[in-house]
Amino acid sequence: MTATSLQRPFTVVSILPRLLDTNGDAGNARVLAQRIRWSGHDARVVDVHSTADLPEHVDAVAIGSGTDAALVSARDGLRSLVEELRIWSNSGVPVLAVGTGWELLSWGIDLADGTVVEGLGLVAGHAVPRTTRATDDIMVASKYGRLVGFENHARDYVGAEASPLGRVLHGTGNGERESGPQIEGLTMGEVFCTHLHGPVLARNPTLADHLLGAAFTRHGLEYSRGPVAASVDETAQAARNLVAVRLGQPVE
C-alpha cells in the first residue's frame, strides 16, 4: 500500500479536551497529528465531547487528565463513548490515557473521603488514595526508551503489575510495592496509560512513534519520521538530558 492509498487524512481523536486537559495533556493529540504531517501524510485532530462529534474514521486516540471536581462529569462523558473505546482498544487503534483519564478507564477510583467513582472497566486495576501527593519529575525505563515527565497525582494505582509501561528510575509512578521495583503506567495491547505529563509525547517522541507505527500498520503502511521530526527530537533529547542531570541519572 502506498503513502497516498489511504485517500483521507489520518484522524487523531482528542477525548473530552474541555474536561481532561488540566496539564496540557490534550496536546498529545496535536503531537501525533504533527508527526504524521512531518512523515508526509495528511492528518487532523477531532475534539470529541459526545457521540455527535465522532468522526467516521479514528486512527489514534488521546485522553488527558482532569481535576477531581470534574471526575464524575468526565466519567459520564467517557461512559457515553464506552462502546467506541472498547472497539478501538480491541481493534488495535492506539489509545493514550493520562492521569485521571487513565483512572476513569479502570475499575474505579477510591477517593480520600471513602467514596468510590466507578470507572469504565476497560483496563485492569484501580486508583487508591495516597497519604501525600506525588509532585515531582519522573523518569522511567521502558521498552520505548527512557521516558521523562512530571507527575502530579493524589492516588496510587494498583492492579497493573502484570503489564506496566516501565520501571521507575526516579519518582513515584504507580506507588510503592511490597516487592520488586516501582513501576509506572499500564499497557494493554495498543492502549497506553501513564502518570507522565509534559505532554508526554512531546518530551518522549519514541513513545509517540510507537503509537504512530501501530496506527500506520493498521492500514498496511510503514511509519517513518520525517527530517523535521528528527531535528525536533534532538531538542526533546536535550530536555530529557537536562532532567537526567538534575536527577543524577546518566545522559542519553
Strands 108-110 and 95-98, by their bridges, are unpaired
Considering only CA atoms, which of 40, 46, 45, 55 is closest in space to residue 4?
A: 40
Q: Does the pLDDT of residue 252 top 90, yes or no?
A: no
Q: What is the mean predicted confidence (pLDDT) over 122-135?
A: 97
DSSP letter string, 187-223: EETTEEEE--BTTHHHH-HHHHHHHHHHHHHTTT---
**Burial of residue 81 (number of CB atoms within 10 Å: 0-12, 13-18, 19+):** buried
Write down the pLDDT at residue 3. 44
Q: At what angle do helices 205-217 and 227-246 cross, to 10 degrees?
A: 140
pLDDT-derived band at 4 (thresholds 50, 70, 90) equals very low
d(CA 101, CA 28): 13
Give yes or no for a contact between 28 and 214, defined as CB atoms under 8 angstroms apart.
no
Give yes or no for a contact between 104 and 67, defined as CB atoms under 8 angstroms apart.
no
Residue 228 carries which DSSP code?
A: H
Q: Does the pLDDT of residue 59 top 90, yes or no?
A: yes
Write down the pLDDT at residue 162. 87
Alpha helix stretches (DSSP H) within 46-164: 71-79, 82-90, 100-105
Share of the chain above pLDDT 70, in %: 98
Q: Does the pLDDT of residue 84 top 50, yes or no?
A: yes
Write down the pLDDT at residue 1. 38
pTM value is 0.96
| Residues 152-192: tens digit of each pLDDT | 999 999 999 889 999 999 999 999 988 889 999 999 999 99
**Domains of the chain and any CATH numbers:** 10-246 (3.40.50.880)
Write down the pLDDT at residue 5. 58
| Residues 194-225: tens digit of each pLDDT | 999 999 999 999 999 999 999 999 999 999 99
Q: Does the pLDDT of residue 117 top 90, yes or no?
A: yes
Q: Does the pLDDT of residue 2 top 50, yes or no?
A: no
